[in-house]
Structure 1
Amino acid sequence: MDSWSKMMEWKQLADKYMNQSFFPNFEDQNKAAGPHINLYESEHELLCVASLPGLKNMDDVEVYVYQNAVKLIGNTSFHIKGMSIRQNEIYQGRFEREISLPYSVREDPIDAYYRKGLLCIRLYRLLTDERKKKKVEIKNEDE
């Protein structure tokens, strides 16, 4: 048995003894983070990619872009009919996530699209940043 398996066995015993999770803050912090994000950068362009599996309605997610940040607000959920969850690692539920950008971005153009469980937001570098938040429309490319 490797050391990770031993630690998980010990954690299960501690959970049972305490009648609650032994690492509640660690687990809650991981779940509260919401969707996982990758941020890609080129000289004048950023691509923000959020993992949002099972999103059926684009209105379930709002994207706001302002100065040097992107804010995602939404709700994701999916259920398998006739089954209950045994292990839950794919984030589900309400989320609010703000991503800091390495530089300010333009208000136009901003392209957002959803494909194969990923929300992609393409942004372009701004030379000046005297503007307000802009809500971004998401196109569903799975349909």
Structure 2
Amino acid sequence: MDSWSKMMEWKQLADKYMNQSFFPGFDDKKQSTGPHVNLYESDNELVCVVSLPGLKNIDDVEVYVYKNAVKLIGNTNFHVSGMSVRQDEIFQGRFEREIDLPYSVRENPIEAYYRKGLLYIRLYRLLTDERKKKKVEIKYEDD
């Protein structure tokens, strides 16, 4: 769990305990210091979808995968020429974000691609020694 998620969890507990907002006026819309992430799961596969609007160069983002986490480091910048910002809700700027995964993943294959403002990272479950033992059937062969 990244630091921001821990803080948000703490805030929710404080809000519940006090029966009111612990940080009045806190803007939950910009709750992350990095891009928003969705994580999708099937039996042996994870797909991490990262919102990165305005990314002009794919080299502006680095993805690191290790054991049961994905780390994103990068920079996104976009603006409308000749205008000042009136409302700022879409994250932009330098970020470093770590996403905890529900289980360890394999080193290979890992697929990542960027399309229509979204970065997709496809990961596969690492099978560990904790899995059930499978009995192997022995067939008898005559000479």
Q: TM-score, normalised by structure 2?
A: 0.69
Q: Is the 8 A contact 1:31 1:91 kept in 2?
A: no
**Is the partner of 2:127 in helix, strand or coil?**
coil
How far did residue 83 of structure 1 move?
1.1
Count of residues paired in the alignment:
107
Mapped pair 1:84 → 2:81: no
In the other structure, the counterpart of 1:111 is: 111
Unaligned runs of 5+ in 2: 1-22, 130-143
Q: C-alpha offsets along residues 39-92 of structure 1, whole Å, 9 cap, x if unaligned?
A: 000000000000000001011000000000000000101011111111000001
- Mapping for residues 48-67 of structure 1, pairs under 5 Å: 48-67=48-67
How well do the aligned residues superpose, as a CA RMSD in angstroms? 2.2
In the other structure, the counterpart of 2:73 is: 73
- CA distance in structure 1 between the partners assigned to 2:30 and 2:94 by the alignment: 14
- The one-letter amino acid of 1:63's match is V
- CA distance in structure 2 between the partners assigned to 1:57 and 1:24 by the alignment: 38
- Mapping for residues 1-143 of structure 1, pairs under 5 Å: 26-27=26-27, 30=30, 32-128=32-128
Of all paired residues, the percent bearing the same amino acid is: 78
Displaced runs of 4 or more, over 3 A: 23-32
Q: TM-score, normalised by structure 1?
A: 0.69
Larger radius of gyration: 2
